[in-house]
Amino acid sequence: MSLQNKLSALVKQKKAQGLFRQREIMNGPQGINITIDNRQYLSFCSNDYLGLANDTDLIEALKQASDKFGLGSGAAHLITGHSQLHHDLEQALAAHVQRESAVIFSTGYMANLGLLTSLCQKGDVILGDKLNHASLVDGSLFSDADFKRYHHNNMDHLELNLKKHSEKNCFVVTDGVFSMDGDIANMQSIMQLANENDATVIVDDAHGLGVLGEKGGGICELFGLKENNSPIIMGTLGKAVGVFGAFIAGSKDLIDYLIQTARPYVYTTAMPSCLAAASLVSLDKIHKENWRRDHLQELILEFKTRCQSLGLELLESNTPIQPIILGDEATALKWSERLREKGLLVKAIRPPTVPKGTARLRVTLSAAHSQQDIRQLTQALGELV
Ligand SMILES: *Cc1c(COP(=O)(O)O)cnc(C)c1O
């Protein structure tokens, strides 16, 4: 069979399975009100949890920085791509998550790949939560270490694995907030088990940064995990921060080591400086504007209460990620389509992103939503039950 025929058969198969994915073409900024094909929707599917992705202060910072620093960074960080703004952002990020040092990556996917492939070496063991994000899974697979998975948030299974590999150098790798379920890693127990067994913990806080903790410091602030015995943190700038990029934070030696060795850091162009400038302003707002987190928590509570009274099956989540489990792909797609007809955008998430039989609507809430938006969504959901 020619490659063309093979590809066309594979595409056809995806379509037949209801697994064919298409991109929406957005005509305007990210936000709770978005326009697709000239139609307005109330959206519940972005990771812009604090409503900062289209914030005028961030955009102003970007404009001013691009006047001064231009657009393209033109080179990798280790050549001539590293500007004062990148440097300032790294320091602000380290302070925000209370770590000694931080290094920026161009995306979270690259940060996880770089961290795991640099740090975890032949003879080491990576113990990863079964529901870890794909970038953590890929980083674990691409590293030279042995990769084992433990049952989701199951501390007995983690302990069993730590004991089994006690003679090896172990890394425990977990999402802070699980991206498709919205639940939070049991960090207290993970840290305790890791300390007892001399293992290093890596936490991916893509969905926790800005959202969790009184000042938005993320999962480590929530659990009070400071410098000593603390996990290595990966965070992203494209979700609650509202911009683009990612970082890793930890000890100075860790960060210096990554700058030397992480290939997705060394061999890629630095993110434009003006994006770093926008992230700096965003971090400041995240730190100061508690109302965003407070309002978001009120919306989460309102949504959960209303869904419970409708008898909808939610997961154990107190974060802005609120999945409604529907089971099979067809039902999830049908519900998503019905909501869409009413001007409400909620994406169906299907295998392989989630395990088979757990297709779902993934509702994500944002501080930009109002109580009225939640009522509108839950009312429409009520008509589908
Ligand atoms: C989004 C996400 C990433 C990837 O970050 P990008 O900056 O979008 O590449 C990594 N880990 C988790 C848990 C994520 O949700």
pLDDT tens digit sequence for 228-280: 678 999 999 999 999 999 999 999 999 999 999 999 999 999 999 999 999 99
Select which of 82, 96, 207, 369 is catalytic: 207
Select which of 77, 86, 96, 239 is catalytic: 239
Grade residue 17 by pLDDT with cuts at 50, 70 and 90: confident
Grade residue 94 by pLDDT with cuts at 50, 70 and 90: very high
| 239 flagged as catalytic | yes
Select which of 179, 279, 336, 366 is catalytic: 179
**CA distances to 89, 107, 138, 236, 244 from 278, in Å:** 10, 16, 29, 14, 9
| 230 flagged as catalytic | no
| pLDDT single digits (tens) 24-60 | 899 899 999 999 988 999 999 999 999 999 999 999 9
Ligand 1 centroid to residue 382 C-alpha, Å: 32
pLDDT (0 to 100) of residue 227: 65
Average pLDDT, the chain: 96
The percentage of the chain sitting over the pLDDT mark of 90, rounded to a whole number, equals 92
Structure tokens at 292: 């965003």
Side-chain half-sphere CA neighbours of 232 within 13 A? 22
| pLDDT single digits (tens) 158-212 | 999 999 999 999 999 999 999 999 999 999 999 999 999 999 999 999 999 999 9
User: Could you state, in order of their start, the residue ranges of all structural domains in the chain?
Assistant: 56-288
Residue closest via CA to ligand 1's atom 10 equals: 108
Torsion of CA 256, 262, 266, 267, to 10 degrees: 180
Domain 56-288 has CATH 3.40.640.10: yes
Grade residue 215 by pLDDT with cuts at 50, 70 and 90: very high
Q: What is the mean pLDDT of residues 292-301?
A: 98
The answer to whether residues 309 and 116 touch, using CB atoms and an 8 Å cutoff, is no
| pLDDT single digits (tens) 271-284 | 999 999 999 999 99
Ligand 1 centroid to residue 246 C-alpha, Å: 8
Those residues whose C-beta lies under 8 Å from the C-beta of residue 84, and which sit 6 or more positions away, are none
| pLDDT single digits (tens) 122-156 | 999 999 999 999 999 999 999 999 999 999 999 99
pLDDT (0 to 100) of residue 24: 87
pLDDT above 90 for 22: no
pLDDT (0 to 100) of residue 20: 84
237 Cα nearest atom in ligand 1: 7
Ligand 1 binding pocket, CB closer than 6 Å: 107-109, 112, 133, 135, 175, 179, 204, 206-207, 236, 238, 246
